[in-house]
Amino acid sequence: MIPRAITAAPVCSVDPLIERCRDMGTPVWRFDGEGRLLTGPETPGVLGLWLRSSYLTDRIGGEVARWAGGDEPGFTELFPGCWLLPIPEIQRRRTVGYVVAMALGSEASESDEFARSCSAASIDQPSARRALLDSAPMTRDESQRTHSMLRWMHSDLEAYAKGQTALETFTTQLSEAYETIHTIYEIGRSMSGLGEPDRFVELVIDRVQKTLEFGWVAALISPRDHDGSPRLFLSGETGCDTQTLLASINAIQHDGAETSCTISPLRPEDPEALGPQIVTRTIGHDGLVFGLLAAGAKGGIDPQVSSYETLLLEAAGGYLTAFLENVELYEDQRQTFMGTIQAMTAAIDAKDRYTCGHSERVAYLSAELARAFGLDEAQCERIHVAGLVHDVGKIGVAEQVLCKPGRLTDDEFAQIREHPEIGQRILAGIPALQDILPGVMHHHERIDGKGYPHGLIGENIPLMARIIGVADTFDAMSSTRSYRPAMNRDQVLGEMRRVAGSQLDPELVDTFMTLDLAPYDTLVREHAGPLVLRRTDAA
């Protein structure tokens, strides 16, 4: 990434020169490039009054006017014993001012000009003469050497000032380059969260807005099926309502295959707070457009959008394009995966029509219970998948046992109890399901250690399994089985409270009692069908 071209405010070399002259006790004046006086000497006492007299100031101003008119500013004798030591202030080969120091000799106090300046300042001439002689007067040669010293000093100060300016410029560029690299790195590092595309889009526009100091950055993202209005993501403040912002952005024409930025001035009808320029970049390639990235109200020293801003916006748009493409692929794969899972659950339910829809209902209740218990959305999604396949091991149980009418023998019940371990073995070879295996293996464990297959106690039972266990118990009692009709809601909840702390996790039972079960009841009605009671014990 190319850092923006920045010129730092130049470090002044004149102010330190004037300070050094004053520290040396040398009177000094400063004029602008046209000869106007800016500052005079700060010498105290009678000598200061003499130096600031109108006669002396006018004489010095006349010499400066001559230099400003084109004469070379050099060592100048203003009158006998009074020499001017000019230092021109040059910026970009143009004289923008003059620093004029003064050297005084003892003979200055005997000149007519000295008397005139005393008269102009209304000061006593003998007092002024004593003050001048006490100021350690110089000879002409000493004054010339002092002039050379001041010019060398100024040259050194100029070199130092240029170095400081260059250093500050480099530091600014280095800081911005770091911010740019950090922004790109952070965006790239966050691209793995394909399951949370909104968060990634928000991160991108937030980082771009803060790094480039735009007043606002927006992203318009098309729906996945590309049917309907794009969603608006916004970082910063636009100073207008959403419809006005969208109208201003949509007024900019874009080529669907364009990956470079378009910089557009505001239209007369656009709010001033959006501008003065809006820069946009399509998100997409090869004619496939996912959305649009837009930014405006650029801050900083230069309000115009530069190549630095467009380069980072283009990079951000590229990341968004790649990410949203991956989201498309991820969603396709996820839907294929979930379709496979649902086919597995359908195969389980097909073996026993009396538990039709059981896995789907347990998955729904498990995910809702996990949300209510405070788990994040990613964990809830995985618990939902675990709920769908929690009984997959029943595929490995003989159908004559699984669907046997009447009471099961101890041996047959032992076969039923094997289904968690069978399910774990079936799913163990699927990398995408490794994290849900504890839920499949341990959803029949009990808090008191009397469950199966491993007799785990309390919190030794994985949380996922405890959640599924609560949901599984509720649905089993709420559903019509071959050996009994469904229990009513009060009976089911009462029984769950009774076994809380022995069979079920009491905290999860308390949380379960807060759930809205209306969507669950809808699922029950969808799965309902004519049933015939034919078995006397639960599987």
If one compares 185 and 431, the residue with the highest pLDDT of the two is: 431
State residue 9's pLDDT score: 45
State residue 7's pLDDT score: 42
- Kindly state whether residues 147 and 260 are assigned to the same domain: no
Write the CATH number for 522: 1.10.3210.10
| Lowest mean per-residue pLDDT among 132-141, 255-264, 267-276, 405-414 | 255-264
In a domain, 346, yes or no: no
Residue at which a domain ends, from 150, 165, 180:
165
State residue 528's pLDDT score: 74
SS (H, E, C) 280-328: EEEEEECCEEEEEEEEEEECCCCCCCCHHHHHHHHHHHHHHHHHHHHHH
State residue 164's pLDDT score: 77
What whole-number distance in Å separates Cα of residue 158 and Cα of residue 89?
10
| 210-217 average pLDDT score | 88
Query: What digits encode the pLDDT tens for the residues 10-19?
Result: 456 788 888 8
- Kindly state whether residues 266 and 403 are assigned to the same domain: no
Fill in the DSSP letter of residue 69. Answer: T
The answer, yes or no, to whether residue 509 has pLDDT greater than 70, is yes
- Kindly state whether residues 285 and 359 are assigned to the same domain: no
What whole-number distance in Å separates Cα of residue 355 and Cα of residue 358?
5
Q: Are 279 and 310 in contact (CB under 8 A)?
A: yes
| 286-303 average pLDDT score | 81
Query: What digits encode the pLDDT tens for the residues 304-361?
Result: 888 778 888 888 888 888 888 887 877 787 788 778 777 877 777 676 655 678 889 9
Q: Kindly indicate the confidence band of residue 190, based on its pLDDT and cuts at 50, 70 and 90.
A: low
What whole-number distance in Å separates Cα of residue 174 and Cα of residue 181?
10
What whole-number distance in Å separates Cα of residue 227 and Cα of residue 367?
29
- Kindly state whether residues 124 and 31 are assigned to the same domain: yes
In a domain, 7, yes or no: no
The answer, yes or no, to whether residue 172 has pLDDT greater than 70, is no
- Kindly state whether residues 313 and 442 are assigned to the same domain: no
Helix (H, G, I), strand (E, B) or coil at 29: strand
State residue 59's pLDDT score: 94
| Lowest mean per-residue pLDDT among 176-180, 223-227, 294-298 | 176-180
What whole-number distance in Å separates Cα of residue 56 and Cα of residue 196?
78
What whole-number distance in Å separates Cα of residue 238 and Cα of residue 228?
24
pLDDT > 90: percent of the chain: 43
- Kindly state whether residues 139 and 258 are assigned to the same domain: no
| 109-138 average pLDDT score | 89
In a domain, 27, yes or no: yes
pTM: 0.52
If one compares 532 and 280, the residue with the highest pLDDT of the two is: 280
Q: Kindly indicate the confidence band of residue 400, based on its pLDDT and cuts at 50, 70 and 90.
A: confident
In a domain, 237, yes or no: yes
Burial per residue of 148-162, b for 16 or more beta-carbon CB atoms within 10 angstroms, e otherwise: eebbebbeebbeebe
In a domain, 156, yes or no: yes
- Kindly state whether residues 305 and 359 are assigned to the same domain: no
State residue 25's pLDDT score: 84
| 429-447 average pLDDT score | 93
What whole-number distance in Å separates Cα of residue 411 and Cα of residue 288?
61
Write the CATH number for 198: 3.30.450.40
- Kindly state whether residues 306 and 418 are assigned to the same domain: no
The answer, yes or no, to whether residue 535 has pLDDT greater than 60, is no
The answer, yes or no, to whether residue 420 has pLDDT greater than 80, is yes
In a domain, 303, yes or no: yes
- Kindly state whether residues 65 and 147 are assigned to the same domain: yes
If one counts the domains in the chain, the total is 3
If one compares 482 and 94, the residue with the highest pLDDT of the two is: 94
The answer, yes or no, to whether residue 258 has pLDDT greater than 70, is no
- Length of the chain as a residue count: 539
Which pair of tokens denotes residue 136? 């350690």
Residue at which a domain ends, from 295, 329, 363:
329
pLDDT > 70: percent of the chain: 84
State residue 177's pLDDT score: 55
The single-letter code of the amino acid at 493 is L
| Lowest mean per-residue pLDDT among 4-8, 377-381, 503-507 | 4-8
- Kindly state whether residues 204 and 305 are assigned to the same domain: yes
State residue 363's pLDDT score: 94
Residue 90 φ then ψ, to 5°: -115, 130
| Most confident by average pLDDT, 2-16, 180-194, 358-372 | 358-372
The answer, yes or no, to whether residue 449 has pLDDT greater than 50, is yes
In a domain, 219, yes or no: yes
Fill in the DSSP letter of residue 463. Answer: H
- Kindly state whether residues 43 and 151 are assigned to the same domain: yes
In a domain, 514, yes or no: yes
- Kindly state whether residues 325 and 368 are assigned to the same domain: no
Which residues span the domain enclosing 221? 193-329
The answer, yes or no, to whether residue 385 has pLDDT greater than 80, is yes
The answer, yes or no, to whether residue 446 has pLDDT greater than 90, is yes
Query: What digits encode the pLDDT tens for the residues 264-289?
Result: 888 888 888 898 889 998 887 666 77
Q: Kindly indicate the confidence band of residue 484, based on its pLDDT and cuts at 50, 70 and 90.
A: low
State residue 356's pLDDT score: 74
